[in-house]
Amino acid sequence: MKHAVVIAILVILCTFLVHTGLTNIGLLPLQASVQAVAVDQLMGIHIWLISFLFSLIMVTLVYSLIVFRRKKGETGDGAHIVGSSGLEVAWTVIPLLAVITLAYIGARSLGEVRRIDPSALQVKVIGGQWYWQFQYPEFGVMSTELYLPVDRQVDLQMTSKDVIHSFWVPEFRVKQDLIPGRTTDLRITPTIIGKYKVLCAELCGTSHAYMEGAVFVVSQQDFESWVKTQQSSIPMDPVLRGEQLAQQYGCTNCHSVDGSSKIGPTWYELFESEVELDNGTYVVADHEYLIRSIINPNLQVVEGYSANMMPPFEDTLDQPAIEALAAYIESLK
């Protein structure tokens, strides 16, 4: 009994020391969202459990090595200890109850993180190799930087144009995968004004480490000013708007506008020309053809090029944007 009391005291002391060390080495960054509170509370419980279990194992091990070691001159066998049914029941029931308790707390935390506010700001997030794009359907603007008003929930509707990516701002704690062909969502309510960084937390190719984007949490007034600035920068001329969209979405990285060779077919003098398809047929590149090719590029694949090289933009661009992009292609003569 004496040994058990000593071990218990040492375990308690070691637990507090380990917990103090873990909580003071900066394991977690700034807590900057409502959702981060629930996540950090759950993390705090785990840190206490980690500290306790580490102390229980290490203190018992070190104490036994020191106190119950073979003394000088001892040659006999150690005492024969028979198993304890009570101890076996205890170390089965207690962990079971702990797991059930943690499962309940985790489910409750998930419910807090997933709860949506009816007045939440909706933002569409598009991930690709290796970039982030953010659309604000309510305001008709798009940006490569994410601007969020402080203390207002944002509902992120996310999809990927190629492989699986993962949206993660460490200060917000929560993260969510972006899956090609599907829309996933994530709710965030930022609480501290400042500049943050969105990272991709899913290995997505050679430039995965550089797939970063700026996140600005601003006041409601500053957010409204930013929206007005973005809206004023949208050209009224559909051709100029189409050129802007082509640059923003990286279209000109694959399609040249001067007839030079790139990954995809050139846009120069494409409009109203005769295009050979991979099935041996020909089609005139009229306005309807351009619209179809933007919405679903795999429907009519050009001879000499492979399918699935270009992602469909049906869920990415609205109809006015698609028409503007087509108008820009038609102007390249």
| 254 in the same domain as 228 | no
| 101 in the same domain as 61 | yes
| 106 in the same domain as 9 | yes
Give the number of other Cβ atoms within 10 Å of residue 183's Cβ. 13
> Among 218, 127, 212, 143, which Cα is nearest to 176's?
127
Residue 163 maps to which CATH number? Answer: 2.60.40.420
Q: What is the distance between the alpha carbons of residues 160 and 166, in angstroms, rounded to a whole number? A: 9
- Is residue 76 a part of any domain in this protein? no
| 204 in the same domain as 250 | no
- Residue 7 belongs to what domain range? 2-65+86-114
How would you label 99-124 residue by residue, b for 16+ Cβ within 10 Å and e otherwise?
A: eeeeeeeeeebeebbeeeeeeebebb
Q: What is the distance between the alpha carbons of residues 289 and 91, in angstroms, rounded to a whole number? A: 69
pLDDT tens digit sequence for 121-165 = 999 998 988 889 898 988 878 888 999 999 999 999 999 888 999
Structure tokens at 260: 């030079």
pLDDT tens digit sequence for 28-84 = 899 999 999 989 999 999 999 999 999 999 999 999 898 888 777 777 777 777 778
| 223 in the same domain as 126 | yes
Say which amino acid occupies 15: T
- Is residue 191 a part of any domain in this protein? yes
Structure tokens at 55: 């102390």
| 130 in the same domain as 98 | no
Q: What is the distance between the alpha carbons of residues 5 and 55, in angstroms, rounded to a whole number? A: 15
Question: Taking the CA of residue 42 as centre, how many other CA atoms within 13 Å lie in the half-sphere pointing to its CB?
Answer: 20
Angle at alpha carbon of residue 331, lines to 325 and 333, rounded to 5°: 135
Residue 252 maps to which CATH number? Answer: 1.10.760.10
Backbone φ and ψ of 181, nearest 5°? 80, 0
| 256 in the same domain as 312 | yes
| 247 in the same domain as 226 | no
- Is residue 210 a part of any domain in this protein? yes
| 96 in the same domain as 23 | yes
Give the number of other Cβ atoms within 10 Å of residue 178's Cβ. 27
Domain boundary among 232, 259, 285: 232
Domain boundary among 208, 232, 256: 232
Least confident of 15-19, 112-116, 119-123: 112-116
Measured on CA atoms in the order 261, 265, 270, 275, is the torsion positive or negative? positive
Q: Inform me whether the pLDDT recorded for 172 exceeds 90.
A: yes
Q: What's the mean per-residue pLDDT of the chain?
A: 88
Q: Dihedral, CA atoms, 221, 226, 228, 229, nearest 10 degrees?
A: 140
> Among 238, 235, 251, 233, which Cα is nearest to 328's?
238
How would you label 206-228 residue by residue, b for 16+ Cβ within 10 Å and e otherwise?
A: eebeebebebbbbeeeebeebbe
Chain centre distance of CA 124:
13
| 195 in the same domain as 264 | no
Q: Which residue spans within the chain are E strands per DSSP?
A: 121-128, 131-136, 141-143, 146-149, 154-160, 165-168, 175-178, 184-188, 194-200, 212-218, 274-276, 282-284
Tell me, what's the pLDDT at 313?
Answer: 78
Is residue 218 a contact partner of residue 226, using CB atoms and an 8 Å limit? yes
Domain count, the chain: 3
| 139 in the same domain as 110 | no
pLDDT over 90 percentage in the chain: 40
| 144 in the same domain as 48 | no
Tell me, what's the pLDDT at 214?
Answer: 93
Is residue 176 a contact partner of residue 158, using CB atoms and an 8 Å limit? yes
Tell me, what's the pLDDT at 238?
Answer: 83
Domain boundary among 199, 232, 265: 232
